[in-house]
Amino acid sequence: MTARLVKAHSSHLSHWGIFDAAETAAGLDVRPDPGDPDPAHTLLRNVPAMLDERVRVLVPHVRRGFLERGAGPDERRGYDDYVPVAWERALSLAAGELERCRSTYGNASIFGGSYGWGSAGRFHHAQSQVHRFLNVLGGYTRSVETYSLGAARPLLRRIVGSDDPIMRPTSLPVLAEHTGLFVCFGGIPAKNAQVNDGGVARHTTIGHLRRARERGARFVLVSPLRDDLVDDLDAEWIVPIPGTDTALMLGLAHTLVRRGLHDAEFLRTHCVGFDEWWAYLDGRTDGVVRDAAWASGICGVAEERIAALAQEMAAHRTMITLSWSLQRARYGEQPLWAGIALACVLGQIGLPGGGVGHGYGSMAGIGGPRVDGPLPTLRQGQNAVRDFIPVARIADMLLHPGAGFDFDGARLRYPDIRLVYWAGGNPFHHHQDLARLRRAFSRPETVIVHEQFWTATARHADIVLPASTTLERDDIGCARGSDALVAMPRVTESRGEARSDFAIFRALADELGVGKEFDEGRDEREWLEHLYESWRDALPDGDDPGLDFAGFWAKGRIEVPGVTRHRVLYADFRAGPAAHPLPTPSGRIEISSSTIASFGYDDCPGHPTWLAPEFLADPPGTGPYPLFLVANNPATRLHSQLDHGAGSAGAKVAGREPVRMHPGDAAARGLVAGEVVLVESRVGSVLAGLVPSTDVAPGVVQLSTGAWFDPSAPDVATCVHGNPNAVTTDIGTSRLAQGCTGQLSRVEVRAAPAPLPPVRAHEPPVDPE
């Protein structure tokens, strides 16, 4: 490889931390930041793969069927090959389709898809760029909420008035000093704490937990996966039946009240609706007492252990941690609501080290430094279109235009989408039931995608425009959950004919006559300086870092002013709920919500309720799909990013995503380590490489998300590469939030049929001519 050195070891920011990189004759040399106490070594090993031209989209491409037949619904998307074209032709085709759809059907017919982490840079943030571009064209149908927190945010807005339990929980240094007992529902996974939206300067989550353990804190892990907490925390491992955490929490709450261990004064002064909820727990509403014995019968945890845990929680300063994974399942609102209500019963909310937090370990920034002031971000402008969907309902929207749906108390209708414009993200990673999503992507008249790599999303587009990677452009990096503003000079020039999203949109805007509105007369470097200097102007008096843009760029990194490092969630509210009310109708925590009750949703009643998900219809170990599949985030990459990188590829088994299961379950099926197996649900099937592990509870299998979707052998499996969303169900958490339910499914695992098909996920679908 010929060296294309731009600057020796430029400092750069990614979602998995700060690193130094330089392109050398031996390839890209990547080194973790020496000031990071716990760098993401495995994830950083993937970075050189950004420059791997074998999987890059190097020039614009157009799907052959689109070239031959023009726009229209087409079931060949995802199967067709692609023809390289010149930028001039690609931009003309894209601009023509945008103009045709907005002039014929209106701007609501354009879906502005951009769901993904993209670059850690704030200017080259794909979501901001595509939304800004579509807004200057008159608007677009948008999505709201996230796959990660689809159930949580709509619920939290109703019961505590904000997402503070996610974004402003009690900080980890406070927990390290004050918490006596951590009860971790879903764990605090070290692998997830390696990444952060917008980047992270220093990885400190696990270090704080270790300091708590050294001080004498005890940890209880409630999860089907033992490695959802690091080994050296010496956690007690409690394994409920997957999907039954709510029942366990209800049994704990009932035990606390029945034994007089609850804080009646806190419930009276800081909460509303406890009496209504207690009538449900104690059986006065329907004759069913939700005590420890009842909970044990549902969740499989011994009655005595539930009662003893309740006693211990009341005896210590207890932090109830609720993983984001809990609400990524059917009725996902309930474990979050029940966990907050359980913390209310203990009465420790607002005390240092006690209460509840949602998402410790789900990202590096949760519980870390918090920037509440301004950040240098790109303005997206105003969207003139009112139509929107919850993000996880994209297949429903494309398949059923005009159909009605419920969301957060409103009755809405899906718009009739004719054009999908996607820049940033990979829906064929995030979404469930990928065979159904493929059918959905056959329905629009036109699909335009910006992509760096030949992902499944690129393979379902009509026009594919090659985008540059973060290594190939200048940017500024920062995040709410970090304390540094980082200059991100490009490490190398763009591969092939790739352009930044900004450059692509500026060219399209010129074609459509709105170039000045989009770029405001600035080039990329001028935009970076404008964002930085506008940020300085917005800072409170006394917070100016004292460096102009040139000084900042030369220094490379500065501390963001106004960072909060030590905080206690709801400390002010605890001290004075009248003086510091929550933004709820009552000003207090709503254990029962009259607003939610008024919606009349049987899948999300007015207080925390045990609702048995459909996947529990067959008892564990029975039925055609006796095993529980946990589809969690991977340890070897961020979502599906750089799946072809060294860190990700090194963990594959026979070239496929590893699936873990308990050795006893493997032996009962005659399966051995390293074997390729078929994982099958009622929705679909995948091939994966077997890894027996005692870190997985009996009756459970674990398959991480993010293997690039490969449907190249549909007669063998829906995906031959191991993407678990080929077997997960595409249904909302409830009518309240319509969140993603991809965390849990029921499956069976058996030996894969011979002969095994090859994995083609990383082979470009380009016309061989």
Mean pLDDT of the 489-496 span: 96
Q: Would you place residue 728 in the very low, low, confident or very high pLDDT band (cuts 50, 70, 90)?
A: very high
Question: Do 709 and 690 share a structural domain?
Answer: yes
Evaluate whether residue 34 is within a structural domain.
yes
Question: Do 307 and 261 share a structural domain?
Answer: yes
pLDDT at 1 (0 to 100):
35
> Tens digit of pLDDT for each residue in 317-365?
999 999 999 999 999 999 999 999 999 999 999 999 999 999 999 999 9
Question: Do 657 and 540 share a structural domain?
Answer: no
Of 124, 115, 119, whose CA–CA distance to 47 is shortest? 119
At 323, which CATH number?
3.40.228.10
Beta bridge partners, 750, equal 678
Whether 633 and 192 have beta carbons less than 8 Å apart is answered as yes
Question: Do 620 and 595 share a structural domain?
Answer: no
With helix as H, strand as E and coil as C, how does 251-304 read?
A: HHHHHHHHCCCCCHHHHHHHEECHHHHHHHHCCCCCCCCCCHHHHHHHHCCCHH
Output DSSP code: residue 371: E
Whether 433 and 441 have beta carbons less than 8 Å apart is answered as no
Question: Do 630 and 529 share a structural domain?
Answer: no
Q: How many domains does the chain have?
A: 4
Whether 517 and 136 have beta carbons less than 8 Å apart is answered as yes
Evaluate whether residue 765 is within a structural domain.
no
Question: Do 747 and 648 share a structural domain?
Answer: yes
Evaluate whether residue 146 is within a structural domain.
no
Of 35, 7, 34, 38, whose CA–CA distance to 21 is shortest? 7
Catalytic site residue from 16, 82, 115, 553: 115
Q: 654 is in which domain, residue-wise?
A: 614-751
Question: Do 624 and 552 share a structural domain?
Answer: no
pLDDT at 10 (0 to 100):
79
> Tens digit of pLDDT for each residue in 565-579?
999 999 999 999 999
At 119, which CATH number?
3.40.50.740
Evaluate whether residue 4 is within a structural domain.
no
Evaluate whether residue 768 is within a structural domain.
no
Evaluate whether residue 489 is within a structural domain.
yes
Evaluate if residue 24 carries a pLDDT over 90.
no
684 CB contacts (<8 Å, ≥6 apart)?
433, 434, 435, 717, 718, 719, 726, 727
Evaluate if residue 286 carries a pLDDT over 70.
yes
Question: Do 411 and 343 share a structural domain?
Answer: no
Of 704, 553, 701, 589, whose CA–CA distance to 637 is shortest? 704
pLDDT at 767 (0 to 100):
64
> Tens digit of pLDDT for each residue in 553-606?
999 999 999 999 999 999 999 999 999 999 999 999 999 999 999 999 999 999
Question: Do 287 and 162 share a structural domain?
Answer: yes
Neighbouring C-beta atoms of residue 433, cutoff 10 Å: 22
Question: Do 297 and 173 share a structural domain?
Answer: yes
Cα 333 to Cα 290: distance, rounded to the nearest angstrom: 18
Instruction: Tell me how far CA of residue 767 lies from CA of 80, 241, 398, in angstroms.
Output: 9, 49, 28
Q: Is 532 a catalytic residue?
A: no
With a pLDDT cut of 90, the percent of the chain lying above it is: 96
Evaluate if residue 6 carries a pLDDT over 70.
no
Question: Do 281 and 303 share a structural domain?
Answer: yes
Average pLDDT, the chain: 96
Mean pLDDT of the 451-467 span: 97
Which of 36-50, 107-121, 172-186, 210-224 has the least mean pLDDT?
107-121
DSSP notation for 301-336: --HHHHHHHHHHHHHS-EEEEE-GGGGSSTTTHHHH
546 CB contacts (<8 Å, ≥6 apart)?
none
> How many residues belong to the chain?
769
Evaluate whether residue 356 is within a structural domain.
yes
Burial class (CB in 10 A: 0-12, 13-18, 19+), 372: exposed
Whether 398 and 417 have beta carbons less than 8 Å apart is answered as yes
* Amino acid sitting at position 597: A
Evaluate whether residue 1 is within a structural domain.
no
Evaluate if residue 8 carries a pLDDT over 70.
no
> Tens digit of pLDDT for each residue in 385-413?
999 999 999 999 999 999 999 999 999 99
Question: Do 332 and 191 share a structural domain?
Answer: yes
DSSP notation for 382-427: ------EEEGGGHHHHHHSTT-EEEETTEEEE-----EEEEEEE-H
Tokens standing for 195?
């990444």
At 687, which CATH number?
2.40.40.20
Catalytic site residue from 117, 294, 360, 610: 117
Q: How far apart are the first and last CA of the chain?
A: 26
Q: Is 610 a catalytic residue?
A: no
